[in-house]
Amino acid sequence: MGVTFLQPWAWLLAAAVALPIAVHLLARDRSRRMPFPTLRFLEVTKLSAVSRQTLQDWPLLAVRIALVLAAVAALAGPVFITPARESAWAARVARAIVLDDRTAPPEDELRSAAVGSTFARTHLRDAVGDAARWLGAQRQATREIVVFSSFRRGAVGAGDFVDVPEDVSVRLIRSSSATATREREISKLQLREPGLMRVTERLILGPSMTEVREIAAQPIDETPITVNATPEERQRADGALRAVLRRGLRLPPAGLMEPIAVDWPGDVSRLAALLESRLSAPLDGWEPESMSDAELASLARQAPASNGPQPEDMGDRRTVWLIVLVMLGVEWWVRQART
């Protein structure tokens, strides 16, 4: 079991020990009256002040030192850290929910937290910053930020969480408003074992995944692409065209309207780029609109275990003040016993 203090000036405990010691050093003994028959035979002398530099009455001094220490400790707000108290702190969750894309706040996430609040701003980073500041003002608890969004690609990045302290966890939950699955058919020319084929594929785009399924393959009698080359380069040009066709060339949506003839550029990579530019079959806008689960997992984080709790409750002030009252009674009894 350990102990910590709610007030930052607990170091005054050591300085407070000097108070009762100073009182005992500076205190003067009371003179006691003693009956004496006559003073006429005593010579007259001058009175001189006698200072005492040694500590006396050690039991009373010890009681007073303990009393002052207990009083200062009570003012500093001691908290005795027990296993039961640590378990209670760990079970308490302060959860800040950041909403994006105008999503509805998840009631179950709020109900499962000891304290919770929602934040929504035009920019996600501003909302995350508001959530981090709110968590910093909460009492001792397990702190976490939950981002609830459809996570459209490019809307969330690691830079949005730079203001979040290391002791705050971050969870990202995909909302039900994510983009629905879309499908599109695409065609390509591909050289396979039987010969040149027109392959039709179905492109399936989900919220965070892309899937390609082949649905048909039709043979083509003649190659609709010609590479013009000199007799010396003819063999290289034909080999490069076969290599490009084995990989496949995507066709435009309307298909190949007429044969294509290009000049031999000198190598395979430049030939592939030249043919793709002539075919003009881009897939712009057909990538997944939402971030993948792996990308979300890279942004989430689990806060490391803290070195020790920093309580902000009332602590054990009342218990220590009760001890102070008891010690006041003990100090009075010891003082009365010395007189």
Q: Is residue 226 part of a domain?
A: yes
In this structure, the answer to whether residues 246 and 171 fall within a common structural domain is no
Predicted local confidence at residue 178, as pLDDT: 52
Nearest to 216 by CA among 235, 197, 234: 197
Beta bridge mates, 169:
144
Could you tell me the CATH number of the domain that includes residue 159?
3.40.50
Q: Is residue 194 part of a domain?
A: yes
User: Given the structure tokens 């968590």, which residue do they identify?
Assistant: 135
> What is d(CA 334, CA 331) in angstroms, rounded to the nearest whole number?
5
Tokens of 28: 């003067």
Find the domain containing 322 and state its range. Answer: 1-27+54-77+316-339
Beta bridge mates, 217:
199
User: Given the structure tokens 């003012």, which residue do they identify?
Assistant: 75
Q: Is residue 160 part of a domain?
A: yes
In this structure, the answer to whether residues 145 and 171 fall within a common structural domain is yes
In this structure, the answer to whether residues 128 and 170 fall within a common structural domain is yes
In this structure, the answer to whether residues 259 and 211 fall within a common structural domain is yes
DSSP 3-state percent helix, strand, coil across the chain (nearest 5)? 35, 25, 40
Domain count, the chain: 3
Predicted local confidence at residue 228, as pLDDT: 93
Predicted local confidence at residue 120, as pLDDT: 86
Q: Is residue 15 part of a domain?
A: yes
In this structure, the answer to whether residues 274 and 217 fall within a common structural domain is yes
Q: Is residue 37 part of a domain?
A: no
In this structure, the answer to whether residues 70 and 94 fall within a common structural domain is no
Predicted local confidence at residue 264, as pLDDT: 93
In this structure, the answer to whether residues 63 and 136 fall within a common structural domain is no
Q: Is residue 227 part of a domain?
A: yes
Walk along the chain (339 residues) in steps of 10 and give the mean pLDDT of each run: 60 62 60 67 64 64 80 76 70 82 64 75 88 84 85 82 89 71 82 89 73 87 89 92 90 79 92 87 62 84 60 67 87 78
In this structure, the answer to whether residues 174 and 212 fall within a common structural domain is no
In this structure, the answer to whether residues 60 and 95 fall within a common structural domain is no
In this structure, the answer to whether residues 129 and 195 fall within a common structural domain is no
In this structure, the answer to whether residues 73 and 90 fall within a common structural domain is no
